[in-house]
Structures are given as structure tokens and as C-alpha cells.
A and B are shown apart, each in its own frame.
Chain A
Amino acid sequence: MGKYIVKRFFISVVTILVLITIVFVLVRLLPGDPFSDPLVPDEIRLRMLSYYGLDRPVLEQYGLYMKNLMQGDLGYSLRFKGRTVNRIIADSFPYSLDLGLRALFTAAFAGLFLGITSALNKDKKWDGLTMLIAIVGVSVPSFIMASLLQYFLSFKLGLFPVAQYRSFMHTILPTFALSLGTLAVLARLMRTSMLDVVGMDYIKNAKAKGLSQFQITWKHQIRNAILPIVTILGMTVASLLTGTFVIENIFAIPGMGKHYVMGIQNLDYPMISGLTIVYGTFLVFSQFLVDILYGFIDPRIRVDKKN
């Protein structure tokens, strides 16, 4: 297990370093420099370049960039005068975290619930209905779902606030729109997994021992069926996170995703590279934690990885 953790950790760290390097190279590859406006006199331009270290050899720049990153300094936003990317992230992170956690819990609980109940009622009406919800959830892109919900439920019927993020009522639509896709994937996977497990010998054994149906389902079937779900938790976090890009825009939530998309539209490079690194690091480590968690829960995976 120790060796497995070390190996996973090593790969995660290398992944983050590669990501940072890619961000560095891509940003340097962009045509022009931040001060190439023809109105800027040459002297000022050169001074600015030397001030930001852009006139030095690329390798030295890379070293400086890494050094700043290690100190947690992501630089200044080009769009918001005098605000550091760190400051912007610190301001917007709580909103994204709040929305993300709400969506994660909604997707996990509702998805697993739907998956389990539909497997237990296989080929009945409830199963059909659940799988219909699941297939719609997978098919309708989150930004379309969000726009439709906003139009019909908020704008037409006035059931929910149209936008912003202030009270519990404000959170319902964004949470639902963000979680629907993940919810659908989880429900489908859980259903398949439950049906895979139901024919196993240990279920028959439990039945033969005379356990009640409730105990068999709860203690044996669900516990075993949930194992494969853990592997896609990392992917789930990633899709929720990238989902916030559009959901935060549609509902005017001042989170990181909104800043990321605005950064892209305004070509605010420090903002984009800073947020990319933060997102990337966060996701790589959540994947790392999921892998470790899975290694603990299911010892078979450690053996499989070796072969």
C-alpha cells in the first residue's frame, strides 16, 4: 500500500508540474507581448518588459515563474486594475466551493438513490422513469438545462429568483442544473452495478443463510455495488468543476468559473494561467485522493495496478 501511495503521489506531482509547464509555454507562445500596443513608446515598453522579467532568457523566466508559484504568487490581473489573481480567487472561491459541494451531494445522493431503487424495481415503471431521467440528464447539456430552467421556472412562473446567489432559494436552480449530468451518470452506473452484483454467490449465500431481503440489499448488494462508483468520483469532481464555468455565468454567480470564462473572453492571461493551475492542482489531488481511497476500500485494485 505504501508503495502504491508513493507511486500515485509521484505521478500526481509530475502531472501538476507538466500542467504548469504547459501553461507557461502556451502563454509565452501567444503572439506579441502585453505591451505591444503601438501607442506605447519603445523606452517604456522595454522598461516594462525588464520590470516583468520578460526580456530575460526563457529558462530564467521559467525559474522565476516557478519561484513565484511556489510562494503562492499568481500575479496581477490585466483586467481588474491593481487586483492580484490571488485576491480574486480568494474572493470567488467560497461561492464556487459552496455551489460545487451542494451539486456534489445532490448528484451523489439523488443519483445513488435513483440507481438503487431502479435496480430493485427492474423492468417496472419506476425503473423506466428513472432511466428516462438518466438519459435526458446525459443528453441535455448543462448550459441548456440551466437556460431552460431559468426561463420557465424563474422568468415565466416566478418560482425561483432569476439569478445571483444570496439565499437558499437562489441556490436551488444552479445546483440542480449543475448536478443533473453527474446525477444521471451515477444513476445509470449504480443501476448496472447493482444488477451485476445481484447474481453473485455471496448474495445467494446471504439468502441461504436466511437474511431478510432488507439486510441482503443494504449490507451485501449495495455495499458491493458501490465500489466501482468510487473510481469515477474523480471524474465527477472534474465535470462538476468545469460545469461551474457556464452555470456561474448563466446565474451571475461571482465564482471562479465566471472569472475563468471572463478571463478567456478578455484575454486576461495571468488570470487564465493562475486559475488553470489552481483548478488543475485541485483536480489532480482529488483524483489522487480518490485513487488512495479506492486502494483502501478495494485491495484488488493494488494488485491489478502491479500487473
Chain B
Amino acid sequence: MSDIMSDVLGLVDIPLEEFGVLGKDEYVSEVVNRPSVGYWKDAWRRLRKNKLAMIGLCIIIIYTIMAIIGPWMTSFSYRTNYLMETNIRPNAQHWFGTDVLGRDLWARVWVGARISLFIGLVAALVQTFLGILIGGVAGYFGGNLDLVIMRIVDILSGIPFLIFVILIMMVIGSGLFPIIITFAITGWLGMARLVRGQVLQLKEQDFMTAAKAMGASSSRLILKHLIPNMSGVIIVTLTMRIPQAIFTEAFLSYIGLGVKPPMTSWGQLANAGGQVMQVHPYQLLIPAFFISTMMLALQLFGDGLRDALDPKLRK
């Protein structure tokens, strides 16, 4: 057995003295050969491998760029009525055609994209901010304050979201900023609950005790330890909120509570198109295509982001 082994390894004729320590460099052996991979880089690497999420991201980026430059690519304004040219099918001049009032649909679609995306992003950010603030306070300080806040959240979240939104919009009116304010008032509940749960969980962990023992102040504990540890979950929820806000805005526009004309949004374009769809189907199909693909893209990207960022769901 050992003969065969030494034959194979070709060690037969090497005397023992030939073996020796060639030298050991402490520094070299400690050098990290590859760049270290942090949480964000790791997540990005995993996200990049997810094809569907990357397709989603591409669509989101393209639509965002088009929302910025799209209205300038045509010489027609989104609000000027070309009354001699109403309901023109898509052609070389009006790329997406014109609507009932002779407004250029290409310009309107991209101005609408601005509004829809702006509402989605800002509403999601404001909701997240309020949620972190209120949920964080409840979870961090605990006690009676926590009890009172969570009871309020329990009770308010019993009221159906859309009905709540509709009621508030009735009072403060419709338009871009009323919509954002309304979404902020009604949308922080879920985020507050999530953040509170996270804070309660993290508060008991060893690194928090250690930081506290070393004399870290409350603000340092919250800003440097709690929030970075929650950021994955928060970003995932934030991404999921954006399509929800766009969806709600489209819904509100559809029932007549959205932004005011001549300003427009994707939901409003779909509503206007729906009314003339039997005669001019492209007026519905074009905005419908953009809303649906954008929702799909956000959904796919959000799913991918969740898989990449949330270690608990990683299996």
C-alpha cells in the first residue's frame, strides 16, 4: 500500500533531509487576496445574478429617463389642444397619437410618468420616514408610550386603506400635494409596525448591550446601530410601497380624485382612454401598457431585492 502511494506521488527517492521550512511570512499569510465583500456588495452581487430583477431594473431606469426627457423629444406640449387634430392614430408626427382634445399623447404619457413616478417615490419615502420615526419611538422607548401608539395603529389600520384615502381626499381636495399628504397620513401604519417589531428584536441583542455598556448615547445607538441593522428590511418594504402608491394614485385618478387636468398621470390617461376605447382603443392601450409594465418591473425588482437583502428569507 505504502509502496504504491510513494510510487504514485513520485516520492521514492527524496530523502527526508530535503524537506524543510522555506520561511514563513506572517504579513503575507494575513494578506486578504480578494477584496472583502460587505453587506451591500454581497446583496448587489446576488441581485445582479437575478435576471428577472435586472430586467425590472432596466425597465425602471428606461421609464425614469424617458419621464425626464420624453416630453422634450417632441415639439408638442402636453397641454396644448390641437383642435384640428383630435383622436389621431399614432403616426410619424404624433408618435402615440392625440387624445379627444387634440393633445399629443407621447408628451402626455411621459408627463404622466413624471407625476406617477414622483408620487410613488415621494409617497413611499414620506411613509417610510414617518413609519421609522413613530415605530422607532414606540419600540425603543417602550412602556406606556408604546402601548398608546400601538393601540392607535391597531385601530387606524382597521379602517380600510382606500376608504381612508378617499375620505381625506374629499376634504383636502385633489391634486399632487393633497395626494402625497394623504398617502403620508394613511400609509405609515404598516411601516411603523414593522420597524417597532425590528427594534424590539434588535434592542435585546448583544451588540446593543455592548454599545450601551460603552456609554453610547441614545441618538448614537439609534443612528449607528439600530437603523443600519434594519436598513435591508426597510429598503425592501420601501420598494414594495412604490408600486402600491402608483397603483393607488391610478385608482384615485380613475374614480376622479387624482391630479387635476391638464396635468395628467398614467391612471388618468387610462381612465380617459377607457371612455373612448371602443372607437380609439390606442388611447387606452398605450397608458395601460406603461402602467402594467412599470408595475411588473417594480414587482420583479422588489422581489429580487427582497431575496438579495433579507437574510431571513435566504435559503
Q: State the A residues within 8 Å of B (CB).
A: 11-12, 14-16, 18-19, 22-23, 26, 29-30, 135-136, 138-141, 143-144, 147-148, 150-151, 155, 238, 241-242, 245-246, 249-250, 261, 264-265, 267, 272, 276, 279-280, 283-284, 287
Question: Once the chains bind, are A18 and B171 in contact (CB under 8 Å)?
Answer: no
CA distance in complex: A245, B256 (Å): 12
- A280 and B166 CA atoms in complex are apart in Å by 12
Q: Are B160 and A242 in contact (CB under 8 A)?
A: yes
A264 adjacent to B160 (CB under 8 Å):
no
Inter-subunit contact A139/B299 (CB<8 Å): yes
In the complex, the answer to whether B168 meets A26 with C-beta atoms within 8 Å is yes
Residues of A with C-beta under 8 A to B8: none
A278 to B101, CA, bound (A): 39
Q: Is the interface of A mostly helix, strand, loop or mixed?
A: helix
Complex contacts, A139 vs chain B, CB 8 Å: 243, 292, 295-296, 299
Which A-chain residue is minimally distant from B281 (CB atoms)? A151
| Nearest chain A CB to B129 CB, angstrom units | 23
Least distance between B306 CB and chain A CB atoms (Å): 12
Beyond known contacts A22-B167, A141-B267, A147-B273: 14 more, CB 8 A cutoff: A18-B156, A139-B296, A139-B299, A140-B291, A140-B292, A140-B295, A143-B271, A144-B292, A147-B274, A246-B251, A246-B255, A265-B255, A280-B163, A284-B158
Contact at A29–B171, with CB atoms within 8 Å? yes
Q: Which of A12, A26, A147, A264 contacts B256 (CB 8 A)?
A: A264
Kindly state the separation between the CA atoms of A276 and B162 in the bound complex, as whole angstroms: 10
Contact A26 B160 (CB under 8 A): no
Using an 8 Å CB-CB cutoff, how does the interface string of B288-312 with A read, 1 for contact, 0 for none? 1001100110011000000000000
> B115 near A: Cβ within 8 Å?
no
Interfacial chain B residues near A155, Cβ < 8 Å = 277-278
User: B57 to nearest A CB, angstroms?
Assistant: 15
Task: Please measure, in the bound complex, the distance between the C-alpha atom of A250 and the C-alpha atom of B255, giving whole angstroms.
Answer: 11
The answer for the CA separation of A279 and B160 in the assembled complex, in Å, is 9
On whether the beta carbons of B270 and A143 are closer than 8 Å, the reply is: yes
In the complex, chain A residues whose CB is within 8 Å of the CB of B295: 138-141
- CB-defined A-B contacts under 8 Å, sample of 19: A15-B156, A16-B158, A26-B167, A30-B170, A135-B296, A139-B243, A143-B270, A144-B292, A147-B288, A151-B281, A155-B277, A241-B160, A242-B160, A242-B163, A246-B251, A246-B254, A249-B255, A261-B255, A264-B170
User: B residues touching A (Cβ–Cβ < 8 Å)?
Assistant: 151, 154-156, 158-163, 166-168, 170-171, 243, 247, 250-251, 254-257, 267, 270-271, 273-274, 277-278, 281, 284-285, 288, 291-292, 295-296, 299-300
> Would you give the shortest CB distance from B239 to chain A, in whole angstroms?
14
Closest to A273 in B: B167
How far is the CB of B283 from the nearest CB of chain A, in Å? 11
A-B pairs, top 8 by smallest CB distance, nearest first, are A15-B158, A139-B296, A139-B295, A242-B162, A144-B288, A147-B274, A140-B292, A261-B255
Q: Tell me if B256 and A18 are in contact (CB < 8 A).
A: no
Q: In the docked arrangement, what's the CA distance between A284 and B271, Å?
A: 30
With the chains together, A265 CA to B162 CA distance in Å? 16
Instruction: Report yes or no: A147 in contact with B284, Cβ–Cβ below 8 A.
Output: yes
Instruction: Give chain A nearest CB distance to B251 CB in angstroms.
Output: 7
Q: In the complex the two chains form, what is the Cα distance from A283 to B162 in whole Å?
A: 12
Taken together as a complex, chains A and B put the C-alpha atoms of A68 and B267 apart, in Å, by 38
Q: How far apart are B221's CB and chain A's nearest CB, in angstroms?
A: 24
Specify which chain B residues have a CB less than 8 angstroms from the CB of A143 in the assembled complex: 250-251, 254, 270-271, 274
Kindly list chain A residues whose C-beta atoms are within 8 Å of the C-beta of B285: 148
The answer to whether A141 and B159 have CB atoms under 8 Å apart is no
B251 touching A12, Cβ below 8 Å = no
Alpha-carbon distance between A22 and B155 when the two chains are bound, in angstroms: 12
- Give B24 Cβ to nearest chain A Cβ, in Å: 46
CB-nearest residue of chain B to A188: B303
- Given known contacts A141-B251, A144-B288, A144-B292, A265 and B256 CB-to-CB distance under 8 angstroms: yes
Q: How far is the CA of A186 from the CA of B296 in the complex (A)?
A: 17
Residues of chain A within 8 A of B267, CB atoms compared: 141
Tell whether, in the assembled complex, residue A148 and residue B162 are in contact, meaning their CB atoms are under 8 Å apart.
no
A12 and B167 contact, CB distance less than 8 A: no
B256 adjacent to A19 (CB under 8 Å): no
Chain A's nearest CB lies how many Å from the CB of B272? 11
B270 & A151 in contact (Cβ 8 Å cutoff): no
CB distance from A195 to the nearest CB of B (A): 9
CB contacts (< 8 Å) of B168 on chain A: these are 26
Enumerate chain A residues within 8 angstroms of B251, measured Cβ to Cβ: 141, 143, 246
Return B214 CB to nearest CB of chain A, in Å: 30
Give the Cβ gap from B122 to chain A, nearest Cβ, in Å. 20
Docked complex Cα distance between A139 and B240 (Å):
12
- Chain A residues with CB under 8 Å of B254's CB are 143, 246
Give bound CA distance, A280 to B156, whole Å.
Answer: 11
Q: Which residues from A are CB-within-8-Å of B161?
A: 238
A-chain residues with CB within 8 Å of residue B273 when the two chains form the complex: 147
Known pairs A11-B154, A30-B171; A245 contacts B255 (CB<8 A): yes
**Contact partners of A26 in chain B: CB under 8 A:** 167-168, 170-171
Contact B255 A279 (CB under 8 A): no
Q: Which residues of A contact B162 (CB under 8 A)?
A: 242, 245
Q: Which A residues are in CB contact (< 8 Å) with B170?
A: 26, 30, 264, 267, 272
Q: How far is the CA of A233 from the CA of B227 in the complex (A)?
A: 32
Closest to A276 in B: B163
State which of A19, A30, A150 has its C-beta within 8 Å of the C-beta of B159.
A19
In the complex, the chain A residue whose C-beta lies closest to that of B296 is: A139
Contact B284 A151 (CB under 8 A): yes
> Min CB distance, A116 to chain B, in Å?
20
